[in-house]
């Protein structure tokens, strides 16, 4: 995603919506990848079923916390690091998703100031 320079005119609405769709697709793809990594970790380390692994990974990413009981130390350490990085990843993904809207707002504001 390449953004227009401040001296360039505002991007047409269709192109902006296409850029926003690209940002949404990137964010969604990275979120799904992160959940799959969490599912694999819970499945291997905590020995949860795939459905329980999905539930725990999704709940951690969503900020709700784990659902299942973790019996091994390795599963607890994984869950702790997964929870820490999930918060950081979620904020980063929101930044990727919101960047086109934020850029358009600032670009439009800058164009109005210069006119």
Taking only the tens place, the pLDDT of each residue in 69-87 is 888 999 999 999 999 999 9
**2: in domain:** no
- 3 state SS of 112: helix
DSSP, collapsed to helix, strand or coil, labels residue 115 as: coil
Q: Which pLDDT band holds residue 60 (cuts at 50, 70, 90)?
A: very high
From the list 52, 53, 49, 21, the residue with the least C-alpha distance to 35 is: 53
CATH assignment at residue 109: 1.10.287.70
Phi, psi of 41, deg, nearest 5: -65, -45
Q: How confident is the model at residue 25 (pLDDT cuts 50, 70, 90)?
A: very high
- What pLDDT, on a 0 to 100 scale, did the predictor assign at position 115? 55
Question: pTM (2 decimals)?
Answer: 0.82
According to DSSP H, which parts of 7-72 are helical?
A: 13-45, 50-61
Mean pLDDT, all residues of the chain? 88
Q: How many domains does the chain have?
A: 1
Domain residue limits at 25: 13-114
Q: Which residue has the tokens 């949860």?
A: 48
Domain-embedded: residue 103 = yes
Answer whether residue 5 is part of any domain: no
DSSP secondary structure letter of residue 7: T
């Amino acid at each position: 995603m390449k953004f227009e320079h401040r001296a360039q005119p505002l991007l047409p609405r269709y192109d902006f919506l296409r850029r926003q769709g690209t940002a949404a697709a990137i964010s969604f793809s990275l979120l799904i990848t992160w959940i799959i990594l969490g599912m694999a970790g819970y499945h291997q380390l905590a020995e949860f079923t795939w459905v329980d692994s999905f539930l725990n990974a999704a709940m951690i990413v969503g900020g709700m916390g784990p659902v299942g009981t973790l019996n091994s130390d390795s599963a607890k350490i994984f869950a702790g690091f997964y929870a820490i990085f999930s918060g950081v990843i979620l904020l980063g993904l929101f930044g990727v998703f919101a960047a086109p809207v934020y850029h358009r707002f600032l670009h439009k504001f800058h164009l109005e100031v210069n006119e």
